[in-house]
Chains A and B, each alone.
Chain A
């Protein structure tokens, strides 16, 4: 809950600006060309009253790779660490025909397509458990035996990366002749 409101997952999609912007940059009236165009955020309210879904539980995990290097002279070992991931896991239960669950599942499909291009971010607000502009780590659903309910497990990792435009392949014009320019 956030300030008396329902838990909410916010999907933020963006789109890399086309290379047309580079040409427009030469126009003096345009001071700045955006490289990423943010689209309006899509909130999904996990409301029990409205959508028959409920947060069954949340958890947080931090994973750090730790290498300990002992010294040949017996002195204090060196410890090298590298962050692997920091994620929040959310367990949701709801009726299979819930509009919010259908919407959630559809948005996850969109996220899947944008995983490599990094054109998305997910925020989750639920009391003290919050993630701002995180990335999807995993998503799974399973039916609860003997009921019409679905159990959903979402894991959101912290740390969204800004999308970057891949290098464009240069176009090489061809010229016909026995030798170039001949």
Chain B
């Protein structure tokens, strides 16, 4: 499936903050201003438009759910994908 990908945060930098969660307010091109909640539990995940995407769940990268996807690259940059 084709997605429009947006870089949201860097996992290494987020984990270095020592926070359980952080809200990123970003203006996603074509979608406008959005608030994305990034949380850390057993794994790192993010909540976007009521869909929770868990990073590398079931060893899937990208992990896809409800026309959304989450992907982490070799630099630990985490991307949000929205189906097009």
Contacts and interface: CB of A to CB of B under 8 A. Distances in A.
B7 interface: yes
Interface size bracket, B side: 20 to 34
A175 B5 contact: yes
Contact of B30 (A169, A174, A180): A174
A178 interface: yes
A180 B29 contact: no
A120 to B, nearest CB: 27
Contacts of B81: 180
B22 interface: no
Given A180-B71, A180-B73, A175 B26 contact: no
Interface string A138-182: 000000000000000000000000000000011111111111110
Interface string A16-40: 0000000000000000000000000
B4 to A, nearest CB: 4
Contacts of B6: 172-174
A171 B79 contact: no
Interface string B8-44: 1000000000000000011111100100000000000
A177 B71 CA distance: 12
Contacts of B8: 172
A169 B25 contact: yes
Nearest to A176: B4
B52 to A, nearest CB: 20
Contacts of A171: 26-27, 29
Contact of A179 (B26, B33, B62, B84): B62
26 contacts: A169-B25, A170-B26, A171-B26, A171-B27, A171-B29, A172-B26, A172-B29, A174-B5, A174-B6, A174-B28, A174-B82, A175-B4, A176-B2, A176-B3, A176-B4, A177-B3, A177-B5, A178-B1, A179-B62, A179-B71, A180-B7, A180-B71, A180-B73, A180-B77, A180-B81, A181-B73
Interface of B: 1-8, 25-30, 33, 62, 71, 73, 77, 79, 81-82, 84
